[in-house]
Structure 1
Amino acid sequence: MTAVTQEAGAPFGAAPPPGADPGESAIVTHGLTKRFRGGQVAVDALDLAVPRGSVFGFLGPNGSGKTTTIRMLLGLVAPTAGDYSVLDLPLAQALPRVGAVVEGPAFYPYLSGEANLRRFDAADPTARGGTAARRIAEALERVGLSAAAGKRYRNYSLGMRQRLAIAAALLGPRELLILDEPTNGLDPQGTREVRSLVKEIAADGTTVFVSSHLLAEVEQMCTHAAIMRTGRLVAQGTIASLRSGLVVRVRVETPDAADAARVLGTLGLPDVRRSGAEVTAELDGRVPEQINAALVGEGVAVRGLAVVRPSLEDVFVGLTGEGFDVGG
């Protein structure tokens, strides 16, 4: 398809990438590009399709263009070229249906969580004042902060602060929730809280678009993902499809490594490798239980047998030859 260069301020109405149906997609971009002064290209001809109802991980190292893309999708930054569509609607109609947390909202530390949400709600021109109390209570309940509603924000943990930010984004009915690095800086407990919350929100039918540089984290909560590198899209699809091009291996831990390697070779498993007390091979569609039975039948003492499936990090390294921060 031909890239469309357009004037700033008219980014909506995009033609979808090949195979993308705007009616079935919460977000569609075509050739979306952002160049800053000096020629720096932050986002380079991005073709993205985010299915409705998905939890979509937008992955890439810090500086790969994720936040700039989100700012363009929300109308905060004008694209240099290309088109995009959110919820297949004009900007003015789409934004009231979108909740977003971008680089963390500013809360008053001396106000309670509930009072901060009242401030956010009052600033929303589309919010109905007569239903504010009910909607605020529902948002707090949804993120698990009802019991801490009267607690001052400065006394909230990092996980509670992130949940309050998500509550602020959910004060109205939302079809799409955009979260920029929602687990950044959180401890393991806070990370689990946010991950669980994202899954609950998605289960209610809201499409969730999650930007992150933590591949392992996204892998646990997302149904789909796109991988960015230096402003360009490397790959996108379901988590399963992204992994599908890489080899699944079986790993055997045993004191009888030489015999185990011989048995795996006899079974016809490709690429048998031996390292100390560990032997690996390509699974090649075999059933692990049958492999274990064959090893035991040949007198091999099996201490452990595991199927090793490729991770998103493996996908990224396989596509680019590089890795990036997967642990924070």
Structure 2
Amino acid sequence: MTMTIDAAGGALMASPAEGAAIVTRGLTKRFRGGQLAVDQLDLTVPRGAVFGFLGPNGSGKTTTIRMLLGLVAPTAGTSSILGSGSPRQALTKVGALVEGPAFYPYLSGAANLRRFDAADPSADPRTVERRVAEALDRVGLAAAAKKRYRAYSLGMRQRLAIAATLLGPRELLVLDEPTNGLDPQGTREVRNLIKDVAAGGTTVFVSSHLLAEVEQMCTHIGVMRTGRLVAEGPLAELRSANVPRIRVETPDVAQAAAVLATLGLTDVSPGSGELSAELGHALPEHVTAALVREGVAVRGIHVVRPTLEDLFVDLTGEGFDVEA
């Protein structure tokens, strides 16, 4: 069930949230002093998705995650996880990594995971050794299971944190910067791990500043800006909304521009020795043939398709250091 909260903190209504792992409606957080961190957030994360949560510094991502997990009380709005409006009821089915958990430095990696497991009331103590071993193996730390945490590198510590989210069967993983501190090989392993977990039916909600990683592993994204959601949906659909451009290298820039305009291409932008335009529905080979037919000296033609970084900058007007 989803519980609505008014500005005074009173419960107003409850409604079901079906077919989604995470649902928020009008979710708002205003801190003391008037700072509005999250503003009327309407977010839907489909079950089974790998959902990338993006936004520049101060956009409200971490505050949103904290509200979803019951770590911060919302000022107003609704939220539900796995169909429940109570984080306490849902958290036994959720594995979460938020800003890195604290571990005991003098305990081994395996001993630390046993401590985490003991804090889970739903965990079966009879199977703890097997589950700890499996979690360490999945993140590539089996060989370091007996090594003390203080001797772990930053990347190994991040892997242990992810292992802590995998100690039991989870319907939802919430990961805040899961590849932080990892080398390229470790980043690839975590990416493959997330894909593997999702293939098993677990929904993964991942906040990351590595747009290339998000682009490779996420099926859906949501983009935040100044506390508001400015885009949400399947990644492929959001990318397709950005029209690809064609870039022509030629000494006959003016003549080429006239040909592109005749073909119906828009946003023709001449430059020095080249020009570009929105390709629209035109085929690159037809553009090439038309230019050659009109006697334009073509040195090169390139189709530039928008990346996730292009989409992010278009939506937020900012760079892609998006940790918040």
Report the TM-score range of the alignment, normalised by the length of the smaller protein.
0.7 to 0.9
Identical columns (%)? 69
SS of structure 1 residue aligned to 2:127: helix
Asked if residue 280 in structure 1 is aligned to residue 281 in structure 2, the reply is no
Range that drifts further, 89-98 or 272-281: 272-281
- Relative to 1, partners in 2 of residues 1:48 and 1:265: Cα closer, same or farther, differing over 3 Å? same
Distance 2:212 2:54 in 1: 10
**Counterparts of 1:139-178 in structure 2 under 5 Å?**
139-178=135-174
Asked if residue 308 in structure 1 is aligned to residue 308 in structure 2, the reply is no
Distance 1:34 1:327 in 2: 19
**Counterparts of 1:130-209 in structure 2 under 5 Å?**
130-209=126-205
Conserved? CA contact 2:313–2:320, under 8 Å: no
Residue in 2 that maps onto 1:83 = 78
Runs (5+) with no aligned partner, structure 1: 17-21
Residue in 1 that maps onto 2:62 = 67
Residue in 2 that maps onto 1:114 = 110
Q: Which amino acid aligns with 2:222?
A: A
Conserved? CA contact 1:29–1:82, under 8 Å: yes
User: How far is 1:318 from its partner?
Assistant: 3.6
Residue in 2 that maps onto 1:231 = 227
Residue in 1 that maps onto 2:320 = 325
Please report the TM-score for the alignment, with normalisation by the length of structure 1.
0.84
Deviation per CA, 1:28-74: give whole Å up to 9, x if none: 11111112112222111211111111111111112211111111111
SS of structure 2 residue aligned to 1:48: strand
Asked if residue 102 in structure 1 is aligned to residue 98 in structure 2, the reply is yes
Distance 1:146 1:76 in 2: 31
Distance 1:141 1:294 in 2: 58
Range that drifts further, 278-287 or 241-250: 241-250
Deviation per CA, 1:266-289: give whole Å up to 9, x if none: 543223323234332111112234
Deviation per CA, 1:97-121: give whole Å up to 9, x if none: 0000000011233433222212211
Residue in 1 that maps onto 2:37 = 42
Deviation per CA, 1:211-253: give whole Å up to 9, x if none: 2344444233221111112212222112233234433212234
- Relative to 1, partners in 2 of residues 1:9 and 1:177: Cα closer, same or farther, differing over 3 Å? farther
Conserved? CA contact 1:25–1:52, under 8 Å: yes
Residue in 1 that maps onto 2:6 = 5
- Relative to 1, partners in 2 of residues 1:290 and 1:151: Cα closer, same or farther, differing over 3 Å? farther
Conserved? CA contact 1:226–1:236, under 8 Å: yes
Please give the root-mean-square deviation of Cα atoms over the aligned residues, in Å.
2.9
SS of structure 1 residue aligned to 2:34: coil
- Relative to 1, partners in 2 of residues 1:287 and 1:153: Cα closer, same or farther, differing over 3 Å? farther
User: How far is 1:91 from its partner?
Assistant: 3.3
Range that drifts further, 38-47 or 274-283: 274-283
Please report the TM-score for the alignment, with normalisation by the length of structure 2.
0.85
**Counterparts of 1:213-232 in structure 2 under 5 Å?**
213-232=209-228
Distance 2:189 2:77 in 1: 37
- Relative to 1, partners in 2 of residues 1:52 and 1:327: Cα closer, same or farther, differing over 3 Å? closer
Q: Which amino acid aligns with 1:125?
A: P
